[in-house]
Structure 1
Amino acid sequence: MLKHGITYMHEHTTIDLSELKCNEDCQLDVFSETVKEYKKLYDKGVRNIVDVTNFGMGRNIPFVQKVAEESGINIIYATGFYQDKFYPIQVFRESKEQLAERMLREIREGIKGTEEKAEIIGEIGTSYNNWTEAEKKVFEAVVMVHKETNKPITTHTSLGTLGHEQVEFFKKHGVDLNRVIIGHVDLTGDFDYILKIIKEGAYVEFDTIGKENYMPDQVRADILKKLQDLGYIDRVLLSMDITRKSHLEYQGGLGYSFLLDHFIPRLQQTGLTDHSIEKMLIKNPIAFMEG
């Protein structure tokens, strides 16, 4: 359940993708620095962080619990399987029914023997311009879990690709798109592509704010201005998707506060209203999570 206040809809309090990426920077596990930044967020009005770290992504629930306790931020936990090259062995060995059962346990009983229960299914992903058989199996398992629990779904698109295909998949399987976020769409830089997803009824996430090596923030801002002017801003969610130690302030990175300190002023300069900004940061997350 979300508290009233700002929500970052797609983050990783701790994550470890270092093994596959052969890069220690991808092991985000710096407790004191994370607490420091989360406290800073709290002071700026952030009350919720949706943590989409799941099976095979180096989840550490006691770590996240302690960060929540020390910072005052309400952290929402997720269940699911990320993307083909990061899948744990179970995805390849087990049936979709068995995978669904694993996710159901995390929603009903708790994650990894803790009392923390998953409130969202995700992030579940497709590869870059390629939807593998294992990924299809995961998505089918997710549909089963969603239909049994009505928990919302949040997806990963690799550099924004296959977002339309994800929407078609959910439609075909009878999932209410009002319960689905298509993630990372800002990486397309393509207004028409994003608008089509919204018109189908899903939410879209501009969740790589500040990652200008992928897409300039002004492109993101210009697309959001167009969406506002057409009346679609109530389908948009924001976040930063911080996954590396070098993304944090102590290593000279942008840090979690960049979204509020720099991107929001850019939106205001681009012509987004305070009403639109409040929707994306506060109202839309609540509407989405509560269904």
Structure 2
Amino acid sequence: MPINNEGYTYCHEHLYIDLSPQKGNIDCKLDQYSLIAQELSDLVSHGVFNIVEVTNRYMGRNPHFLECLKRDTGMNILASTGYYIEGFFPKELYDKSAEAIRDEMVQEIEVGIEDSGLKASLIGEIGSSENAFTDTEKKVFKAAAMAQYETGRPISTHLSFSTMGKEQIVFLKQCGADLSRVTVGHCDLRNDLDQLLWIIDQGCYVQFDTIGKNSYFPDETRINMLEELAKRDLLGHVMLSLDITRRSHLKKNGGPGFLYLLDTFLPKLKERGFTQQQVDTMLRHNPYTLFN
């Protein structure tokens, strides 16, 4: 489904995800339909028309849940294909070849996801562990590069606490990936300007996509980092999102909610001198360029 360029796009979200078996915490099962649907309806009324939903295989992906949200809220939802990170892989993945994984990805892009009416619009979120990039994670990345070559679809990656960004991009380049069609997730959990500049210099996008998770990293420092990129006229390689993954992240459950980016973070950017044109670049034009 193409991006609706009339509105904003959140580049990295989860609308149904279940990591509770691995984490032993029911809060990690985001499945409260009425609360999520209400927040999405509120987003649409505030001009967010697209969400890139990066829940893939064995993260509890539920395509029928997404189809209902699209129907009931009018939100344009882009679904994903792939595998996440070590610790969340199914046992059978270790015995699969990169070519077999590629074929699965291409199937979900070109034919569809399970028995739903959804096709995957991107390959993601595929990731590396904190300060490590395991052989199986690399196998998934190799498969992603091959699937990208066959389908032209973009790749969205996961950095664990903003580590291993260079290693991901070096490996994707070795695998022949089109780096202009790669976006690197969770670049905003460590104050590492050199890594950001290097990733952008390779032609990739960087995501500031854990906005509002101040217990991990403060928004004020995120804004400082964005200022440094703005000074270098590099916001054309930046996208924004929240990465809501838990029940407790929803507004009715006491969390920041999906509107936090618009209601809290953007006013802080404007106070620091960011223009509407710069906001539109990060939330409208860049996602349209990459995900279409």
TM-score, normalisation: structure 2: 0.98
**Partner-residue secondary structure (3-state), 1:271:** coil
Q: Which runs of 4+ in 1 moved over 4 A?
A: none
2:3 corresponds in structure 1 to 2
Q: Which residue of 142, 145, 151 maps to 2:147?
A: 145
Map 1:156-195 → 2, pairs under 5 A: 156-195=158-197
**Partner-residue secondary structure (3-state), 1:124:** strand
Say which is worse superposed, 251-260 or 267-276, in terms of deviation. 267-276
Percent identity of the aligned residues?
Answer: 45
Alpha-carbon separation, structure 1, partners of 2:254 and 2:279: 27
**Partner-residue secondary structure (3-state), 1:204:** strand
Alpha-carbon separation, structure 1, partners of 2:284 and 2:269: 16
- CA root-mean-square deviation: 0.9
Q: Which residue of 108, 111, 114 maps to 1:112?
A: 114
Residue identity opposite 1:99 in structure 2: I
Alpha-carbon separation, structure 1, partners of 2:286 and 2:175: 25
Conserved 8 A contact 2:142-2:172: no
**Partner-residue secondary structure (3-state), 1:186:** coil
Q: Which residue of 211, 214, 221 maps to 1:212?
A: 214
Answering whether residue 21 of structure 2 is matched by residue 19 of structure 1, we say yes
The structural deviation recorded for 1:189 is: 1.8
Map 1:265-280 → 2, pairs under 5 A: 265-280=267-282
Say which is worse superposed, 74-83 or 93-102, in terms of deviation. 93-102
1:238 corresponds in structure 2 to 240
| 1:234-267 CA distance string (max 9 Å, x none) | 0000000000000001110000000000000111
The structural deviation recorded for 1:192 is: 2.0
Alpha-carbon separation, structure 1, partners of 2:196 and 2:272: 19
Say which is worse superposed, 44-53 or 92-101, in terms of deviation. 92-101
Q: Which residue of 46, 49, 73 maps to 1:47?
A: 49
Alpha-carbon separation, structure 2, partners of 1:60 and 1:212: 28
Residue identity opposite 1:36 in structure 2: Q
2:66 corresponds in structure 1 to 64
Say which is worse superposed, 219-228 or 204-213, in terms of deviation. 219-228
TM-score, normalisation: structure 1: 0.98
Which runs of 5 or more structure 1 residues have no equivalent in the other structure? none
